Homo-oligomer: A and B are copies of this chain.
């Protein structure tokens, strides 16, 4: 009899696992259950859907239920919530959210890819209408409706992480008066301090009112609707609120099934994405991973990681072995015309991990100085003073910071020293780079911080 595989969750990790396993062993009977009404959507594109740059929800979707079910041969069900995992009987309980029907499905192997859920802070008024999160396509549709509605609108965004910043941009460009609240005294505090300042300046230049070091005390309501926000610095009338204070692993099912949990309640998996139950794999935003530099357990929920881990889980449940090597926490985002990218450890993280670390910052144009259109890249490298090894890199400036930080990703992964990076034979032409690329300038400055 064919082996039965059940996958809980139909976005990046779950569908990568299902598709990969089916490719490797077509005889597997794989079924996917997804709680929401959408599968395979690019959650990272939601801010741009809200802002209107992406027109339709379906634009965010790369695979339909029909394609998964009939083309890839993986029956896939939306609006189906797995409510219980019975590890002894090796079966899951599934609730059809449209009909209320309950059904039981046996498995030989199970994949948990339940993702993460937005943190809803314990605030008066947080349960009012007009208080939004942005995690699912349905969230996006609701938020877009209010952002793109006619008339003067004022919004508060609570939480200045990536989602908060990206939505602030999109709302401001859609004509919304935006108040961005951040508890910390600066934005994106893992960044070098002057970079946080540059992000702040960019937001303010573009009309976003930023409230730093400013906990929100209450969402004020009138007749169940949002009326304003009261914070440490006073009250502001707003029409709606976005909560973007972060996410936590959606690991309730795994916890209830007695699987081992780790950092922030994320599901503990080995390098092959196997949980503490060898018949159960887990992958994506719901699992704990290890930092590739320090080996420390972390929870860094990102789409790139979810896709990679899903593929590896699928490979291993169908055969394997493939291993996931860990994360550097690489990120990039844009805030109006300012791009921000980072990878590896911040100076503080490096010091906390026990390194005698230093940071070195340089600013350099991204083209030959004489070629029109050059824009600055400011690069901060974090290095181990003892060995000269690169531990982290952060950059702000033009769009080209993304490609440059990716070079540092490769360098960190390979264990390169800043002196070795300084010797890279990088490409050069006046329209694309200066003869000494900002990467080399950054590395040559960082070399001076290495112990002699």
Contacts and interface: CB of A to CB of B under 8 A. Distances in A.
Contacts of A328: 425
Chain copies in the assembly? 2
A428 B370 contact: no
Given A334-B429, A370-B60, A427-B343, A406 B404 contact: yes
Contacts of A45: 368, 370-371, 430
A347 to B, nearest CB: 19
Contacts of A409: 407, 424-427
Contact of A407 (B53, B334, B406): B406
A17 to B, nearest CB: 15
A402 B423 contact: no
Interface stretch (A1-9, A171-179, A303-311): A303-311
B439 A42 contact: no
A406 B426 contact: yes
Contacts of A332: 427-429, 432-433
Contacts of A413: 416, 420, 423-425
A305 B425 CA distance: 8
A427 B414 contact: no
Contacts of A414: 410-411, 414-416
Contacts of A292: 425
Contact of A427 (B341, B400, B435): B341
Given A44-B368, A370-B45, A409-B407, A304 B428 contact: yes
A433 B302 CA distance: 14
Interface string A331-351: 111100001011100000000
A94 B162 CA distance: 63
A332 B430 CA distance: 9
Contact of A430 (B42, B342, B433): B42
Nearest to A303: B435
Contact of A425 (B304, B425, B436, B439): B304
A42 B292 CA distance: 40
A369 interface: yes
Given A407-B403, A435-B42, A429 B333 contact: yes
A355 interface: no
B435 A327 contact: no
8 contacts: A12-B435, A44-B429, A304-B426, A330-B427, A330-B428, A334-B432, A400-B400, A402-B429
Interface of A: 12, 42, 44-45, 48, 53-54, 59-60, 62, 292, 302-305, 307-308, 325-334, 339, 341-343, 368-372, 399-400, 402-407, 409-411, 413-416, 420-421, 423-433, 435-437, 439
